Structure 1
Amino acid sequence: MDLHRPIDPNKTYEELTSEEKLRYDHQKLHELHKGHESMHLHMVMILLVTLIVAQFIVLEWKKRHYRSYASFTMVAMWTIPVLMSIKNHWVRFLVVWTIFTLCTGLVIRKCCVKPINVTTPRLVYKWFYLIYKLSCFLGVFGYILMMLTFLGINLLFGHKPQAWMDISLMLLFYGLYFGVLGRDVAEYCTDKLAASIGYYTQEGIPTRQLESDVCAVCGNKLLVGVDEEGVLGESD
């Protein structure tokens, strides 16, 4: 399909065919951005400089004060997107965020209870392993959908590329956001577990001599081998 082919100016938008509407929208987009090349160049340069400087600052902060860095980034990632969603009325994200927060909050609460229940470590593993799997699936599916859009597969179904790109970007965002947030919260929970059970020294987590099929935290038998993939089923 030639998206730059002229459209009959005597037709209204409602009279256009689906193919002509695609061409019309594409040409309108180019008209809106006509003459903005220099402005776009300045915006890109400012963005690149800002990213480089910010990256240097963040790396130094992470290197020198990791605990404050980890706590700040976790809280910021957990709160800033939801505040933006409330402001812009993004109901879908608010619903997903609320479900994630309630479930993760329950896991964090169990990690903070003393004494630690013997099933808590497995609960922590199961929950964050599930988050990891779902995040990977959403990210990969969103990426594949984006590549299909770039290849023009959406035109075979008569769909606009904007619709497919919106879905793919949304899936990529959900996968990346909850994947990174889940990783940070998992690290926080493991620190809490290690501190609560007294399994900690100034040099870090000490070594222990255990059987290869025994969990070093709860002392229960492992359901899978050391080199096998974990499971999410019942383990008590």
Structure 2
Amino acid sequence: MYKTHRGHESMHVEMILIFLCALVIAQVVLVQWRQRHGRSYNLVTLLQMWVVPLYFTIKLYWWRFLSLWGMFSVTTSYILFRATRKPLSGGTPRLVYKWFLLIYKLSYAFGVVGYLAIMFTMCGLNLFFKIKARDSMDFGIVSLFYGLYYGVMGRDCAEICSDCMASTIGFYSVSGMPTRSLSDNICAVCGQQIIVELDEEGLIENTYQLSCHHVFHEFCIRGWCIVGKKQTCPYCKEKVDLKRMINNPWERTHILYGQILDWLRYLVAWQPVVIGIVQGINYSLGLE
């Protein structure tokens, strides 16, 4: 390989400079796009997240991922269909948040297991259980990939469903005042009546009050903030302190995990595009 590329040092330097410049410009463009037109940015990113892995799985014959991708796509498409219906069924918000909360927890579990398996192998502990390093590393990488990928997909789809359902119910609008007034015993996320009092212990779930004094079903507001990536009150848009909402220190890792998923979205959706642009520039300049 060294003999083949001998004498091409200047060309390699040019290719590296082109890659770095494209990377910086792409970062600036994507940040500006996200800040100015966040809705279109999220939709395009979600579409790429959905399509790009499908291309590689079909090309490389990864049938296991393709089958899981198909089941996830069919179920999520049905959930999206239910969330965008008008009028909205009374049980739809809970169905939506239960599904995406399940996806979120499964992806979190797979991500943790995959990370531990990789560290397990790097420390050589697989030898104590007579497991080949290649097998344990492959298991860790695959588990980590499944967890991170479906975690990103689930959170993006949950955000779309949250906006659609809340705007349909009428207590929330993306860039305006609520179209309906909120009663004291109504949850602004699902639009259903709140039965359990604030200081009362419920059988299924409790009632939670934000710092703005608006009251919600605990399950609904957790789904709205943690799964749906919202950090404002569904009614008045006051800032929500997620650390105050999650008292259990073990659950606070979900916030960090959500931030990791947001960062990973760029790598899966936009990094292949940047690399494709760099290769096109190199090919046009005769550097390939």
Instruction: Give TM-score scaled by structure 2 length.
Output: 0.59
Residues of 2 paired with 1:189 and 1:104: CA distance?
10
Structure with bigger gyration radius: 1
Secondary structure of the 1:140 match is: helix
Residues of 2 paired with 1:46 and 1:170: CA distance?
32
Shift of 1:89: 1.0
The residue aligned with 1:71 is 43
Distance 1:46 1:162, change over 3 A: farther
- Between 196-205 and 130-139, report the one with greater CA deviation: 196-205
**2:191 alignment partner AA:** C
The C-alpha deviation readout for 1:198-219, integer Å capped at 9, x for no partner, is 33447446496544x7422322
**1:120 alignment partner AA:** T
Residues of 2 paired with 1:149 and 1:47: CA distance?
33
Residues of 1 paired with 2:47 and 2:35: CA distance?
19
Residues of 2 paired with 1:93 and 1:167: CA distance?
13
The residue aligned with 1:189 is 161
The residue aligned with 1:127 is 99
| C-alpha contact 1:138 1:171 (8 A) present in aligned 2 | yes
Q: Return the match for 1:106 from 56, 78, 82.
A: 78
Residues of 1 paired with 2:87 and 2:74: CA distance?
22
| C-alpha contact 1:141 1:171 (8 A) present in aligned 2 | yes
**1:167 alignment partner AA:** F
Shift of 1:171: 0.9
Shift of 1:44: 7.9
Moved runs in structure 1, 4+ residues, more than 3 A? 41-53, 198-211, 227-231
The residue aligned with 1:224 is 206
Distance 1:59 1:134, change over 3 A: same
Distance 1:224 1:81, change over 3 A: same
Distance 1:151 1:201, change over 3 A: closer
The residue aligned with 2:62 is 90
Aligned runs of 1:163-202 on 2, under 5 Å? 163-201=135-173
| C-alpha contact 1:142 1:170 (8 A) present in aligned 2 | yes
The residue aligned with 2:120 is 148
| C-alpha contact 1:119 1:218 (8 A) present in aligned 2 | no
Residues of 2 paired with 1:48 and 1:174: CA distance?
29
The residue aligned with 2:285 is none
Secondary structure of the 1:218 match is: coil
| Percent identical residues | 41
Distance 1:137 1:47, change over 3 A: farther
Residues of 2 paired with 1:105 and 1:201: CA distance?
23
The residue aligned with 1:160 is 132
Residues of 1 paired with 2:136 and 2:16: CA distance?
25
Residues of 1 paired with 2:113 and 2:174: CA distance?
43
Instruction: Give TM-score scaled by structure 1 length.
Output: 0.71
Secondary structure of the 2:97 match is: helix
Q: Return the match for 2:90 from 80, 103, 118.
A: 118
| C-alpha contact 2:106 2:147 (8 A) present in aligned 1 | yes
Residues of 2 paired with 1:46 and 1:165: CA distance?
34
**2:208 alignment partner AA:** V
- Between 135-144 and 161-170, report the one with greater CA deviation: 161-170
**1:85 alignment partner AA:** T
Residues of 1 paired with 2:177 and 2:121: CA distance?
48
